[in-house]
Structure 1
């Protein structure tokens, strides 16, 4: 802390500080997404600072005072809107894309204001259970580790409760139910150290500095989203600065060392932005393990500008990671390893896409994406049998190698029929090639009589399958106050040759300009996680994949919402939901198992074969949000969720889901203070308090575990026990330094995470060395830190 303070004071003495910044961007029609020419963009509170959008809808607003600012946008025949919480600095221009919606009634004397642009989702077809977030929030909120997945854990309906992974539990659903999309293209889990079928990981590979404002959806998704029953992360990459070059160098405990560059490309309005990061969290001692994690990633987005053939762009992300857990070099309390094991973990992730936008007439466009994704991971585990004795023997215990290649083609046609009707239709085709191999001694017999469990191949799959998803949807502005969306989504899964139709609908009614009610309904399907589908079972001496013909899991979503503007810059929201789930995978004989309980760890069950699609479950709850958008130097966010998550296995007994925390409460707030003689620099304090009910778990059956030599859970009492409540308080301090004479900006922060040093429970598991049940806790107090230099 002393060293960080010394650096800050030194830079304060060496650098003099600047006066204004720049906001630039593009104004488009929300329904047609075509540029709006002649829109007026002005600085809130100072209408003399204004400009107009040009023939491409682009604008550049200069001489903006430093600090948090808002801009207003107006255009004849369209509802006025505003963009607030712009962090104006000297190091980088603010780049925006602002959507305006055409007035239902075009009489000049009627003045309609749509309010804060950020209060509404980017996807115009999403009327319920959707939250737009900014990348600035990702880095601003305390405890976030520059991770978009940890950011959304602050939203109503989302819980984590595990500091070691960023798995997203939406309304009591397994993290396996999540869909990740980048630039409209579905992608594998964009996290370091992720494994096949999971959607989370310990460290995010998504660089928030390249992300544009994005949507997070938690229920009753519009018809364009499929193969997910829990939530959707619909992320976009921002474009680079089309007029001048900008650079950034930064270092942070969790994101690591980063270099980013962006600027104009060619003479057709093109641009590029690219960044590379190298993680060094192991050096800081903040990894939560004695082992040394290594990870790095690169991201880019290149826009080639307009041409006669349309607008082409390429985007991509690539990440690699590895870590070695060596039993003789770790603490016995390490949550990820054991002293009688050596484990070697590697993973990789890549997604690349070519996007083409073609304007068709004045109100329509066709967007096409051709993409490729790859996810791979390997896990080699060696067990020391007869550990610590003269007959100690190191043998391979588990060997996992997974390679998934995915080729994607998607096309979307959007047309604004008129100001009251918008139509959208498209098709997504995905071809998967999977090479998955898994061998293990876990829970195996000693058929060869060598005194050790047999090393048995459990998965050996080398094949491909297809997922095809057509959709069509429309938005109908029935009156000035009433908007109705309706659509249908189709899904074909080639493994079981099942095709399903999924109706989706949503309704929004503005009771008054400040009060809106909404309703949403949708049927959604998703395949059982791939690691479960391809498990091998010995049938008459031959290995057979007896789970491949499982049905798609079905989920019906019902949502009722109420949104209110409590005051200027204040918003309140309540949502009531119910989710009915059927056709989950369960065992063919009476048991407590269900595929709905999978997905909250690095792996999946390895002994669940001959499953049948007869499991059920439900999630229900109510959510509250009170948000104060950043203004007058501060912001505040309060969210709480009260919910219930239950399931039934083949024994038809209703049980708690492992994700049935019961409640989640988040309270966030922050204040900025202008400091220095010219008040050009900013000192900030941000804080976050989170508490949640503990997750349910299945207790260890100690006597059978001692007899078998490995952990056996009491499945008859599955998820009957609950961990202690999760509680955490984070406090973050930061300072922003703006240069006076040059385009330079410095930022420092220190994030004191878990300042109360509360040791939240990680797991209670069987210790085969002591023949007892041990509790392992999550990391306690840990200071995060970072520095950013933009020029």
Structure 2
């Protein structure tokens, strides 16, 4: 607890000294306002700070930009109005002394202009960037990611608080949506499909222990959990559509931060104030070695994970009608899990193996957007990415405990992507969008199992393949209260020569000024994890074949019914019920309980051959959300889900999936207190979460003892579950507005009750018994952040 005492003393000393010297300051709010459908800048929009004395207001210029100067510090509310468009009120804009606020907004044109329309404004967080989303979607921003207790400044962990999302693994940020495998999630950044954006993230997974995504650089982004629009293909479970914000085009600003995500330095500012060209960059380096020195356990035993990453974006307007953006993310990470030196088992290993892991991920992107006129624009995005995964495992002999080789994997995947988008707004009623997405994979995959006197090659291939998509989507607004979104996506994958047409449809109807009903349907198809196609099979006679090469897409049908009641301006109740039918899942040719619908539960390469598309699956449930958006100094969020997720393997028996927890409940809340007259704030945020325990398959002890390694009871696949997951977290933070800078201190007390949540049951071949591994106990996470 020494680290807590030191931090509290430092916090008290700095707060007292700065409180005596700080001068009350004001700040600037600036941004751009565009049409929500055409994305064309709106000229002459009125932007006013409510309850300001004297009145603070302005109008947008010919490029849609606005600037509000001399805005008091603290939380402010903006009202944005424009003739013929729905008025928008943006509450609780946090204004600090250390950084200007850049707030970009979109306005929706009224279908019947001049008619009296009385509709309670929908909170900005429920309105997605993607206009074609009808159900199971919401937006989030930087403040939510940094404010929620236990989110670790990670957008993936933050999204785990939303209805239908399970996150009962303290060490990874995998997103498990409505019982689906985490590999069913699509990540998109700046309009480009990207690989797994996590440190220590494998090629076939969608998460990892530490996110590569830097929340300080994120703009308002979308998260979708079902029946998503036609422009999103190759996903079964959900979509994370992320946007990087642009740097401040008028002023140079800097950031420094230290916390569990590393030591970070960042900068942004104008390249040319006249053209509004800007840059934004941030670099992070791991600090987990400090946690080890003070005796805190972060789940890897004596090993210290090391990682670093860099994120940047350059935004260059070239005229009133066009702009170029150039962005990139790169990171490297490694860890050596020397478990043979441990007295007890640790997570992701046991005392009989040593694991050495090295990962590298890099993404570079370039986009050009051009407006042909006020209703028609195009955007072309190009990117290149590289993902490397190098794993080596050695073991101890069960006979004399001498080291023996066990396995080696080297995965390299280069991906070259292009996304061409065309958008035409025909009228306030009709908007059409279409385009093409190309993902060219250039891979080198090698995976082999090494044992004394024998080498088993699981895959050894290099080559190329193309995943192509074309789509078109149409939005028709019958009135200001009734909107229809339809579309279709065509997808083709060269490895297996698979082709599919995926229809999508969604309907939103405002039953009254406070109630909205939503309906959604979508067919969604996804390729198998890339390395699965190239698993080798040794045929009679010694010949080798890739028996998974012809696997087709896994197919999923989504049906969603949604109801939202806006109880008050900042309070809403939402309920959704859904049914997801899955077919053509990859299962073994001979009768067994294996299915790739459980991929991602072990985070290791799957080396199963002779797979066919004859498996099935079902996910269904109901979700509730009660959310009070931040107002009057506090907020709360309650989400709960009741669901079932099961599948049928080639044994023709139904089993629970590995992700069938049955229920999830989250309760979050926070209160902000003003300190003194300087608009300094002290915040308390809490979180309580519980869910069904992870499922597992019982051990066949007789067979395991005979063979000397773990053998499961195949007919009882995932029939058992660990104890329920329960955790409580508390976060304390203090923001100080100094002259020209803002200092933020936070202490995130994770798992404050020190509950020993079960992680897994690990087989011990020496004693023919099973040992229980536990997740992280009490884990304090201090953080300091400065902007200036």
TM-score bracket for this pair, using the shorter chain length = over 0.9
Q: 1:27 is paired with a residue of what secondary structure?
A: strand
Paired residues of 1:80 and 1:113 also in contact (CA < 8 A):
no
Q: Write the distance in 2 (CA, Å) between the matches of 1:68 and 1:330.
A: 51
Q: Write the distance in 2 (CA, Å) between the matches of 1:584 and 1:108.
A: 51
Does residue 4 (structure 1) correspond to residue 16 (structure 2)? The answer is no
Does residue 316 (structure 1) correspond to residue 317 (structure 2)? The answer is no
Q: Write the distance in 1 (CA, Å) between the matches of 2:687 and 2:499.
A: 45
Q: 2:228 is paired with a residue of what secondary structure?
A: coil
Of 355, 363, 381, which residue of structure 2 is paired with 1:351? 363
Paired residues of 1:282 and 1:291 also in contact (CA < 8 A):
no
Paired residues of 1:81 and 1:113 also in contact (CA < 8 A):
no
Q: 1:276 is paired with a residue of what secondary structure?
A: strand
Which range moved further: 155-164 or 108-117? 108-117
Corresponding residue for residue 714 of structure 1: 713
Cα RMSD after superposing both structures:
1.4
Does residue 236 (structure 1) correspond to residue 243 (structure 2)? The answer is yes
Q: Write the distance in 1 (CA, Å) between the matches of 2:142 and 2:766.
A: 46
Corresponding residue for residue 186 of structure 1: 193
Paired residues of 2:678 and 2:737 also in contact (CA < 8 A):
no
Unaligned residue ranges in structure 2 (runs of 5+): none
Of 89, 95, 98, which residue of structure 2 is paired with 1:91? 98
Does residue 402 (structure 1) correspond to residue 411 (structure 2)? The answer is yes
Q: Write the distance in 2 (CA, Å) between the matches of 1:294 and 1:722.
A: 33
Given the superposition, is the C-alpha separation of residues 112 and 592 from structure 1 closer, same or farther in structure 2, using an over 3 Å criterion? closer
Which range moved further: 762-771 or 508-517? 762-771
Q: 1:46 is paired with a residue of what secondary structure?
A: coil
Q: Write the distance in 1 (CA, Å) between the matches of 2:117 and 2:225.
A: 35
Does residue 770 (structure 1) correspond to residue 763 (structure 2)? The answer is no
| CA deviation vs aligned residue, 1:546-601 (integer Å, no higher than 9, x gap) | 00101100000000000110112101111110000000011112111111111123
Corresponding residue for residue 734 of structure 2: 735
Deviation of 1:712 after TM superposition, in Å, equals 1.0
Q: Write the distance in 1 (CA, Å) between the matches of 2:30 and 2:268.
A: 15
Q: Write the distance in 2 (CA, Å) between the matches of 1:229 and 1:9.
A: 49
Q: 1:455 is paired with a residue of what secondary structure?
A: strand
Of 329, 352, 360, which residue of structure 1 is paired with 2:341? 329
Spell out the pairing of 1:218-233 with structure 2 (5 A cutoff): 218-233=225-240
Deviation of 1:135 after TM superposition, in Å, equals 1.3
Corresponding residue for residue 36 of structure 2: 30
Runs of 4+ in 1 over 6 A off after TM superposition: none
Deviation of 1:305 after TM superposition, in Å, equals 1.7
Q: Write the distance in 1 (CA, Å) between the matches of 2:91 and 2:280.
A: 24
Paired residues of 1:472 and 1:488 also in contact (CA < 8 A):
yes
Q: Write the distance in 1 (CA, Å) between the matches of 2:122 and 2:447.
A: 54
Corresponding residue for residue 423 of structure 2: 414
| CA deviation vs aligned residue, 1:723-776 (integer Å, no higher than 9, x gap) | 11000000000000001xx31000000011001111111100201233211110
Paired residues of 1:558 and 1:577 also in contact (CA < 8 A):
yes
Give me the TM-score of the superposition, normalised by structure 2.
0.96
Q: 2:125 is paired with a residue of what secondary structure?
A: helix
Corresponding residue for residue 441 of structure 2: 432
Paired residues of 2:119 and 2:514 also in contact (CA < 8 A):
no
Corresponding residue for residue 594 of structure 1: 595
Paired residues of 2:231 and 2:489 also in contact (CA < 8 A):
yes
Q: Write the distance in 2 (CA, Å) between the matches of 1:235 and 1:347.
A: 22
Paired residues of 1:733 and 1:749 also in contact (CA < 8 A):
yes
Q: 1:703 is paired with a residue of what secondary structure?
A: helix
Does residue 250 (structure 1) correspond to residue 257 (structure 2)? The answer is yes
Of 47, 59, 80, which residue of structure 1 is paired with 2:66? 59
Q: Write the distance in 2 (CA, Å) between the matches of 1:533 and 1:635.
A: 48
Corresponding residue for residue 687 of structure 2: 688
Corresponding residue for residue 449 of structure 1: none
Corresponding residue for residue 490 of structure 2: 490
Corresponding residue for residue 287 of structure 1: 298
Q: 1:599 is paired with a residue of what secondary structure?
A: coil
Unaligned residue ranges in structure 1 (runs of 5+): 445-451
Q: Write the distance in 1 (CA, Å) between the matches of 2:271 and 2:343.
A: 52
Q: 1:307 is paired with a residue of what secondary structure?
A: coil
Does residue 104 (structure 1) correspond to residue 111 (structure 2)? The answer is yes
Corresponding residue for residue 261 of structure 1: 267
Corresponding residue for residue 448 of structure 1: none
Deviation of 1:333 after TM superposition, in Å, equals 2.6
Of 174, 183, 192, which residue of structure 2 is paired with 1:167? 174
Q: Write the distance in 2 (CA, Å) between the matches of 1:132 and 1:286.
A: 34
Give me the TM-score of the superposition, normalised by structure 1.
0.96
Deviation of 1:332 after TM superposition, in Å, equals 1.5
Corresponding residue for residue 17 of structure 2: 14
Paired residues of 1:80 and 1:112 also in contact (CA < 8 A):
no
Deviation of 1:679 after TM superposition, in Å, equals 4.2
Corresponding residue for residue 512 of structure 1: 512
Q: Write the distance in 2 (CA, Å) between the matches of 1:757 and 1:31.
A: 49
Deviation of 1:339 after TM superposition, in Å, equals 2.5
Paired residues of 2:411 and 2:446 also in contact (CA < 8 A):
yes
Which range moved further: 143-152 or 393-402? 393-402
Q: Write the distance in 2 (CA, Å) between the matches of 1:349 and 1:23.
A: 35
Spell out the pairing of 1:591-630 with structure 2 (5 A cutoff): 591-606=592-607, 608-630=608-630
| CA deviation vs aligned residue, 1:140-167 (integer Å, no higher than 9, x gap) | 0001111111000000010011111111
Q: Write the distance in 2 (CA, Å) between the matches of 1:726 and 1:558.
A: 29
Paired residues of 2:112 and 2:479 also in contact (CA < 8 A):
no
Corresponding residue for residue 783 of structure 1: 780
Paired residues of 2:382 and 2:417 also in contact (CA < 8 A):
yes
Q: Write the distance in 2 (CA, Å) between the matches of 1:714 and 1:701.
A: 5
Q: Write the distance in 1 (CA, Å) between the matches of 2:583 and 2:773.
A: 34
Q: 2:605 is paired with a residue of what secondary structure?
A: coil
Does residue 524 (structure 1) correspond to residue 524 (structure 2)? The answer is yes
Deviation of 1:12 after TM superposition, in Å, equals 2.2
Paired residues of 2:636 and 2:668 also in contact (CA < 8 A):
yes
Q: 1:139 is paired with a residue of what secondary structure?
A: helix
Deviation of 1:56 after TM superposition, in Å, equals 1.1
Corresponding residue for residue 755 of structure 1: 752
Count, aligned residues: 774
